[in-house]
Structure 1
Amino acid sequence: QMKAEKPDLVLLDVMMPDMSGFEVATLLKKDPETAEVPIIFLTALNSAGDIVKGFQVGGHDFISKPFNKEELLIRVTHQLSLIAAKRIILTQTEELEKTIIGRDKLYSVIAHDLRSPIGSIKMVLNMLILNLPVASVGPEMHELLTMANQTTEDVFSLLDNLLKWTKSQIGKLKVVNQNMDMVEVIEGVTEIFSMVAGLKKIEIRLSVPDQLEVYADIDMVKTVVRNLVSNAIKFSNENTTIEISLEEKEGMAIVSVKDSGCGIDEASQKKLLHTDTHFSTFGTNNEEGSGLGLLLCQNFAIKNGGELWFVSAKGQGSTFSFSVPLRKQESLKP
């Protein structure tokens, strides 16, 4: 009858011929097709041991005979309302999962398909800026080229962050840790951003040792350093300095990027590094931001066994720092 009728609820006696109600309940709970059907025991048994046994074999409620009709109806209605609510939740969960999967696929396609052509445009504009002096194209055209170059840099960075964030969220971005020199990573990123900083007359100063090896995913670490340096340039005023430092502390390498830019007020600080607030703002030259970079930095720092934090004051600048473990010592083998 259970398989034929597929009821939403079962009222079950305990004392029955051939098979007791407890045995029936045990069999129903073992069968995947009937395991989720709620059972209300309706029996003359009313000892504490019988009630406990009823719940142990999977009963959802226990009513002793003689029963009150109104009480029985209320308890049945309660169980049926729980079933209806559970079905709604399951349906909504399935729809939400499909929506999230579709969104992540869309983000990934957009970022992946646009990244390559934007990268080509970025390379061409970089070459034009480097090889065309102001005198040959005029100040107005040179300014337009500079603006176009900066825009493509920002778009390429956004697409790169979007692609990595999507892969990270859907579990397709794996952490590949290895021993590497953090100083080389910092110097490499600084060299890439030297031209962008130069356009705002910003000097980047390094305070790093000759070498400091860490154990982390090199691509993720480069992404974190790149985002922090890019943000520092974006939120710094012209003719200022950005200081990048690297130190060793309690088994961790700590990278800090300090600027003397516009800083962040207390209200905005509370919104940073939270996916639900998704805070972003404009740079000192009205550079647009997505708010995704810092979330990605925090995600990557944690994935590599470290953390990300910041100190900021409105009008005085900000210092963003992250940590990664030092070089993993290889065990000696005889």
Structure 2
Amino acid sequence: MDINFSEYKVLIVDDCRINYLIMKVILERESLEVSLASSAQEAMVFLESNRVDLILMDVLMPEMDGFEFTKWLKSNEKYKDLPILFITALNSPEDVIKGFDLGGSDYITKPFNREELLRRVKHQIRLSHFHNTIVKQNEDLQTIIDNRDRLHAILAHDMRTPISSLKMIFSILSLKNEGDVLDGDFIRMLYAGSDIVEQLFSLLDNLLKRIKSQMGSMSLLPQIFDFDVVVESAVEVSRPAAKLKDICVQVDFQDEIDVFFDIDVMKSIVRNLLINAIKFSNSNSTIQITVGKEDNQLVFEVQDEGIGMTEDVQARLRKRMYGNSVQGTLKEDGVGLGLWIVQYFIDSHKGSFYFRSEEGKGSLFGFKMPIIHDKKST
């Protein structure tokens, strides 16, 4: 890559004017812009109002020597990435090592060779150029990512409203049919439609939570609530999907437990685990939900009798490699967001997420989380 050296500015910090003039002539012949500071204090003043791309630093200077000035520069956020090339008569291994330890980029001993000086200066400028290019590209990329995430968040948020309305419509239709007044085909279509809407809502909700968590704009509102109610709500919401496969969802409340958590996030965690179990369950099977307490921790488990997971899939889950979703027993698709959401929020609240699975026999997913309040202990 060709670099226009005339765009780069070099500051020579040296109390010997003869050394400065020699280096100035050598560097200006290569079109570099060169300035002089005869002391560290003068260099500080110069840096306040001038851009510098490289400092050529003498070590033996009065008041503040080059090593001390380098230490000051590297402790300053504004100058910490500024490359420093020491040019000094100090040539012992200890001095060279000290210069590098303080943050120096390179080291030349006096008397210096013209060609060596040019090669080392140009090398540092090239490194600085590449560094600045990478920083700029990263900033541009981050801007693109931030804009993309904002767009996704807006889309997910705006789409949740009509999907929520559809959910309500299907719920009302399902309730109206409690007396089995509709024929079988219509009922199957009703449950299928309800299941599709629930999947869309869950996908949008998971997408919105993931984007907000990555953008740092996720506001949690923890409160004390009855965990049993959250589980019962998730079972009710998932009822159409379970009916499509004639799945029986059984719940064993071994303890009545109140927890301190964001209730919407907890609903999302429980719903995702239950939907995941339904997705991979065979028809005419059973899903067992267990709610209990162990060592003052909430224990929640969902066990299915479905297709289970291969060793490869289990290994990817342990490494948190989500995204390569496996189709469900009715060819249901997914993008792997559900388990990511579950594990992210459980981890962020000092809980533990776990699973066991055997291919062809089913899976168990569960989590443990600290309890703030237990009804039976009061």
Aligned partner of residue 316 in structure 2, secondary structure: coil
Of 265-274 and 146-155, the range deviating more from structure 2:
265-274
Distance in structure 2 (CA, Å) of the matches to 1:290 and 1:30: 45
Closer/same/farther in 2, CA of residues 328 and 93 from structure 1, 3 Å limit: farther
- Which runs of structure 2 are paired with 1:97-176 in the superposition (5 Å)? 97-132=142-177, 138-176=183-221
- Which runs of structure 2 are paired with 1:50-129 in the superposition (5 Å)? 50-51=95-96, 54-55=99-100, 59-129=104-174
Of 83-92 and 12-21, the range deviating more from structure 2:
12-21
Where does the alignment leave 5 or more consecutive residues of structure 2 unmatched? 1-34, 36-45
Which whole-Å deviations, capped at 9, do the CAs of 1:173-195 have from their partners, x for residues lacking one? 23443443323322332233234
Instruction: Give me the TM-score of the superposition, normalised by structure 2.
Output: 0.76
Q: Does structure 1 retain, via aligned residues, the 8 Å contact 2:354–2:366? A: yes
Q: Does structure 1 retain, via aligned residues, the 8 Å contact 2:351–2:367? A: yes
Q: Does structure 1 retain, via aligned residues, the 8 Å contact 2:282–2:307? A: yes
Count of residues in correspondence between the two structures:
329
Of 298-307 and 79-88, the range deviating more from structure 2:
79-88
Instruction: Give me the TM-score of the superposition, normalised by structure 1.
Output: 0.85
Structure 2 residue 292 is matched with structure 1 residue 247: yes
Aligned partner of residue 372 in structure 2, secondary structure: coil
Closer/same/farther in 2, CA of residues 227 and 42 from structure 1, 3 Å limit: same
Amino acid of the structure 2 residue aligned with 1:149: S
- Indicate which of 43, 56, 70 corresponds to 1:11: 56
Closer/same/farther in 2, CA of residues 63 and 225 from structure 1, 3 Å limit: same
Distance in structure 2 (CA, Å) of the matches to 1:29 and 1:214: 48
Aligned partner of residue 238 in structure 2, secondary structure: helix
Q: Does structure 2 retain, via aligned residues, the 8 Å contact 1:215–1:324? A: no
- Indicate which of 316, 322, 327 corresponds to 2:367: 322
Amino acid of the structure 2 residue aligned with 1:223: S
- Indicate which of 301, 305, 327 corresponds to 1:256: 301
TM-superposed deviation, 1:153: 1.3
Of 185-194 and 312-321, the range deviating more from structure 2:
185-194
- Which runs of structure 2 are paired with 1:150-299 in the superposition (5 Å)? 150-272=195-317, 276-299=321-344
Q: Does structure 2 retain, via aligned residues, the 8 Å contact 1:55–1:61? A: yes
Q: Does structure 2 retain, via aligned residues, the 8 Å contact 1:216–1:324? A: no
Distance in structure 2 (CA, Å) of the matches to 1:327 and 1:21: 58
Which whole-Å deviations, capped at 9, do the CAs of 1:278-323 have from their partners, x for residues lacking one? 1212211122222100000001111221021111111100000111
Q: Does structure 2 retain, via aligned residues, the 8 Å contact 1:208–1:246? A: yes
Amino acid of the structure 2 residue aligned with 1:249: E
Where does the alignment leave 5 or more consecutive residues of structure 1 unmatched? 330-334
Q: Among the aligned pairs, what percent are the same residue? A: 40
Q: Does structure 1 retain, via aligned residues, the 8 Å contact 2:309–2:359? A: yes
Distance in structure 2 (CA, Å) of the matches to 1:228 and 1:32: 46
Structure 1 vs Structure 2 CA RMSD: 3.1
Closer/same/farther in 2, CA of residues 154 and 57 from structure 1, 3 Å limit: closer
Instruction: Tell me the residue number matched to 2:358.
Output: 313
Aligned partner of residue 270 in structure 1, secondary structure: helix
Of 15-24 and 291-300, the range deviating more from structure 2:
15-24
TM-superposed deviation, 1:152: 1.0
